[in-house]
Amino acid sequence: MFVQKSSARNTVCKTKGRKMNNLFGMFIHWGIYSVAGLHEQAFAKYDFDRKQYEGMKDVFDPVKYDPEQWVLLAKNAGMKYICFTTKHHDGFSMWDTKYTDYNIMNTPYGKDVLKMLADACQKHGMKLSLYYSNPDWHHVNAYNSKSSHQWKVVDKASADFKKYREYVINQVTELLTNYGKIYTFFWDIMPQIEDRSINELVRKLQPGILINNRGYDEGDFSTPERGEGDRLEFRHFEKMTEACNAVGFNSWGYRKNEDYHSVRNLTYSVMKIMALGGSYLLNVGPRPDGTIGDREKRIIERVGKWYLSTEGCLENAEADDFDYGLKEHACIINKKNGKTYFHFTQGLSYDAVYIERFPSIPKKVRLLNTKEELPFEMRVIPSYYDRDSGICTGEYLTISNIPVDDLENEPITIEVEW
């Protein structure tokens, strides 16, 4: 029996007066690495010659880029925010920055793609978050011996943290000044150097912003990725948490011959993290022409169809501490607006749910996946009996006729109104 139990804790977690509503969002990894179609770290992983790799900016021309289509894809899937990679490890800046020529303005496209995305997000009520890599394989002073992902640095001998820190501060100031309200800031790859003044600057420039734990101090929220959060116990997060995964198995950026996660795997992952009070970013890697591929779109749409069926019950719910004595199935239980939600993160192995203890007889039971009402009654279950006497142990609240075979590829949520 796997039943979530927790001390009463509202999943709108708070840290230092700030809070993160647990929401579903889209992660977008896009840069000149999309031209190679191999991986967002292709420069290092495929050992490109520097001149060859950095020369890809001269052919990066995303003429089909339409950020409104990205935003609507996310919005129609129930996503509430987009996190965009402004600079990945290769050091290429995807906005109009005055601190390096290695940026989107010096490509054949020559437009500020981040500004266009920010405008589209504002138009459609989508929150915007920004990703920024600490490693930088283009900046001459960026080498950091205390950190990882330093494979393609320009010159280890030219390392100068003070100069690189000034560069980072200047770029972050641009990002947090010129693109409207920013929801969260996602540093990547811990520098293993503490400098609390940098996140203090982030908060000064964007009051109320939330910062992850991969920067120059512990930040506000943790960031398990690639299924790390799925292996956690069924216990509500004590700290603000944002898990992330990509639709692609091998790469976050565009990969021509990618292998993809099943929709089943992704929906189960989203349900578990969000039912435990976390946010979830699901990533796509746009093509070099600025479009999101058809396979990626279909995955987002199918995950979104399931997500919308939950009717928002995964967002900002509370842990339900009542000991229901639920039998057999892996389940996370929470409550919202006077209703209890049983989230079966691995589906159901048979078409009924048996509940040993309950606060009252339900008024109504619904299967959120299909919106149909489910029958329920008190039953004696012969599978549960006293081993000494052979007598059944009592009546169980039984919810039955669940169409499990029709829902074999998605997690199941049952709503109970008491």
Cα–Cα distance, 160 to 141 (Å, whole number):
5
Work out the pLDDT band at 143, boundaries 50, 70, 90.
very high
What pLDDT, in 10s, does the model give residues 382-401?
999 999 999 998 999 999 99
What are the tens digits of pLDDT across the range 207-237? 999 999 999 999 999 999 998 877 666 778 9
What residues pair up with 377 in beta bridges, in sequence order?
398
Mean per-residue pLDDT for 150-155?
Answer: 97
**Band of residue 3 on the pLDDT scale cut at 50, 70, 90:** very low
HSE-CB for 308 with a 13 A CA cutoff: 12
- Domain 11-309 sits in CATH at 3.20.20.80
* Strand ordering across the sheet containing 353-355: 353-355, 395-399, 376-380
Amino acid identity, position 9: R
Please list, in sequence order, all residues whose beta carbon lies within 8 angstroms of the beta carbon of residue 22, skipping any fewer than 6 positions away: 11, 12, 274, 277, 278, 279, 280, 314, 315, 316
- Residue 9: per-residue pLDDT: 39
pLDDT at residue 413 is higher than 80: yes
- Position 18 scores a pLDDT of 60
As a residue count, the chain comes to: 418
Q: What are phi and psi of 411, to 5 degrees?
A: -65, 160
The answer to whether 242 and 229 have CB atoms below 8 angstroms apart is no
DSSP string, 208-221: T-EEBSSSSS--SB
Report the pLDDT value the prediction gives residue 232, as an integer from 0 to 100.
Answer: 66
Domain boundaries, the chain: 11-309, 320-417
pLDDT of residue 6: 37
What are 334-355's pLDDT values in tens digits?
Answer: 999 999 999 998 899 999 999 9
> What pLDDT was estimated at residue 13?
44
pLDDT digits (tens, 9 = 90+) for 175-197: 999 999 999 999 999 999 999 99
| pLDDT at 346 (0 to 100) | 87
Looking from the CA of 202 toward its CB, the CA atoms found within 13 Å total: 27
Domain 320-417 adopts which CATH fold? Immunoglobulin-like (2.60.40)
Nearest to 285 by CA among 305, 257, 243: 257
Across the chain, what does the average pLDDT equal?
Answer: 94
Percent of the chain with pLDDT over 90: 89
Question: What confidence tens digit (pLDDT) does each residue in 28-83 have?
Answer: 999 999 999 999 999 999 999 999 999 999 999 999 999 999 999 999 999 999 99
